[in-house]
Structure 1
Amino acid sequence: MLTDDQIAEHLRSTNADFREMEESHHRLDEELQTLLKNHTLTPQEESMKKQIQKEKLGKKDRMAEMIREYRKSQEQPTS
């Protein structure tokens, strides 16, 4: 059975949606890390931080779902 990392690597090389989702997730992480370098956040920055975290989590959840779907499709017996 393939690990999640192995499936993610396969999807990275074969699925443009997965690749774009992962790249977007990394960009959001970089934005968040830049924002968090400030010691105190303004209310606007705090709101932006929450929005980035929410969007980042949504992308991570979608990638995990794609991995589960791939695993399930590989486990189904072929006729």
Structure 2
Amino acid sequence: MKDSEVIKKLRKENEEFKKLEDDHRKLDEYLDEMSKKKYLTAEEEMEKKTLQKKKLHYKDKMAQLIKEGRQSA
């Protein structure tokens, strides 16, 4: 099964995947807004780094679910 097919199936059947994907998208949009600022305070820089790590964690978890979905197909 192709990854795109696995992702479609996960979007329909897996609540965890849907939540991870939604949270990942929201973080991406928020980080996009942050990057448009000319200057970030030290606190904003720390928040940005934390959010980037969280976004990567979500992406890793989604990749793991896709891998598991591929193996069970």
Q: Same fold (TM over 0.5)?
A: yes
Decide whether the 8 Å contact of 2:2 with 2:70 is kept in 1. Answer: no
Instruction: Normalising by structure 1, report the TM-score.
Output: 0.87
Which has more helix, going by share of residues? 2
Is 2:51 the counterpart of 1:52? yes
Higher RCO (C-alpha 8 Å, min separation 6): 2
SS in 1 for 2:8: helix
Instruction: Normalising by structure 2, report the TM-score.
Output: 0.93
> Which of the pair has more CA radius of gyration?
1
**Which ranges in structure 2 are unaligned for 5 or more consecutive residues?**
none
Per-residue deviation at 1:61?
Answer: 0.3
| Runs of 4+ deviating beyond 2 Å | none
Per-residue deviation at 1:5?
Answer: 1.7
Q: Percent identity?
A: 41
Computed over aligned residues only, the root mean square deviation of the Cα atoms, in angstroms, reads 0.8
SS in 2 for 1:44: helix
**Which ranges in structure 1 are unaligned for 5 or more consecutive residues?**
75-79
